[in-house]
Every structure is written in structure tokens, then in C-alpha cells.
Structure 1
């Protein structure tokens, strides 16, 4: 298993892995932008892209994990937790945030296991499914 910055050559594999990209062409463009901006990191296992995530530092000048996606056939192997831990280790700000839908219990459990704590919610992004915000204090 290797965690590394994504390369433009990974784009097709990331689009195939991403469950939203299958029905939303804008996501592929978004992934390409994340790669070009050097915000996207991947987990590669045995030559396959198994997961990816996006970390930026423009959420009120704090770190923010904007995306975390584990390929369906690679789930339940703790790869999401490893990617979150990686982002915690490279966060360049004293605070790191992320969010997930209230309905996404698996992601909420992962974040709590990683030491994140709830920090509020945002209404009206998805109908009837508020976005839960989570916080981790980067101890540097």
C-alpha cells in the first residue's frame, strides 16, 4: 500500500472509482482540477488505485478534507482511515475540518475513530440530509 499525490495519469482510474462520476460528468472535471492543483492524494495497492482524497487549506484558512472516496471493492480494509491519518500528518494549518452527510454513518464512525469531533452542521446542501461538520486540532 502506498499513499502518494495523484498524477494526471491516475485520472481515468479515479473517475472509474468515484461513484458520483458515473452519473455526473462534472465530477471528472473536478477530479482533474484537484490533481492539477496538487490537492488529491491516492492509495495504491498492488498497482490499483484503491482510494483517493482531497485536502485543501482554504476553508477559513484551515485544512479541509473535501473528498474521501474508497473504491467499492476496497472497502472495509481501513483505507479511508489511513487516508485521513495521512491528511492529518500533512495538514499545514492548526485546524483540520471535514464534513459528511448526516445519513453517512460509516464516514461519521471513521472520523470519530480518527479523533475528529462534531463541530456543527450545515442545512440545505442536500435535501433532508444535513452536512455534519467535524474538527480535529492539529497538534504541532
Structure 2
């Protein structure tokens, strides 16, 4: 069972290390630390190891937006990304949740489609030759006792 909790400042080293491993550089380290400090970051963990993280904020036209979703390469294709997305839907303060990914990121696009996000637009010229695809999902609010999730939140 995936365990998910809000990230703490003690998690920033593991978060930044994992992000650099997946991204290939450390360019987002400051941004990640700021997101943790702001309470916008959640981590998936197994035992004491952080195996993924997600950042959701209100930066997209004052709407809830999943800005980053990263799963450690060793734990990819095991449902961790899906669990993190479902958790964000559960804690989302708005009635819609947005996210985006590059057109070349087929894994994230498949995840969005699987979770019933709809394509809401494309932005050119952010990454040359690789447009950004915007997705949105209308969030249904579930009472905490009936939220259908296999995620254990502490």
C-alpha cells in the first residue's frame, strides 16, 4: 500500500536528489525547497524511503495545478504516480484540477487519460519543438469515509 504524507523540510534532500535523477540536473532544487516550505508538496514513501512526490499549488490562473509529479525510476509503472494523483484530487481545494506535460511525455499523458483528465489546450514555445499539453479534471468531492482510494494517508 502506498503511504502518502505532506512533505517536511527534512524530505528536501531526498526530493531534490530524486528530481535531479529523473530530470538530469539540479535546476529545480530551490523551487522544490520553496514548494515544501509552502506546504505544496506531498511524498509517497515505502518504509522510510521516499519513492515519489507531487507538487500542487494555485499558480495556474488561480486554479489548482499539479506542477510536478516524479516517481523514482525503480518504482515507476507500479501505480505510485496514480496514487499521488488520486491523493491530490482528494485534497484539492477547488472543483477542478489541472496539470500539464510535454507532448513527448507519453507516460504522463496515458496516466491523465486513465484518470479521466481531458485535454484542455496546448502551449507552444515553452520547450522548443515539444509543446506543453494542458489537462483538466472536474473533481468530485467525496466524504473522507467514502473516498475510494488504496492510499493510506497519515
Q: Is the structural similarity TM-score above 0.5?
A: yes
Q: Structure 1 residue 28: deviation in Å?
A: 1.1
Please give the alpha-carbon distance, in whole angstroms, between the structure 1 residues aligned to 2:25 and 2:101.
Answer: 20
Give me the whole-angstrom Cα distance separating, in 1, the residues matched to 2:137 and 2:99.
9
Shift of 1:59: 1.7
How many residue pairs match? The answer is 138
User: Is this contact kept in 2: 1:57–1:92, CA < 8 A?
Assistant: no
CA distance in structure 1 between the aligned counterparts of 2:13 and 2:115, rounded to whole angstroms = 29
> Aligned-pair distance for 1:16?
1.4
CA distance in 2, matches of 1:9, 1:71: 18
Q: Trace 1:24-63 onto structure 2 (pairs within 5 A).
A: 24=26, 26-63=27-64
Question: Is residue 2:95 matched to residue 1:100?
Answer: no
2:25 corresponds to which residue? 23
SS in 2 for 1:77: coil
Aligned to 2:3: 2
Local SS of the residue matching 1:4: strand
Give me the TM-score of the superposition, normalised by structure 1: 0.94
Q: Report the Cα distance in structure 2 between the residues aligned to 1:58 and 1:67, rounded to whole angstroms.
A: 12
* Residue of structure 1 equivalent to 2:145: none
Q: Would the aligned equivalents of 1:55 and 1:65 in 2 still touch at CA under 8 Å?
A: yes
Cα contact 1:122–1:132 (8 A) shared by 2:
yes
**2:56 counterpart of 1:64:** no
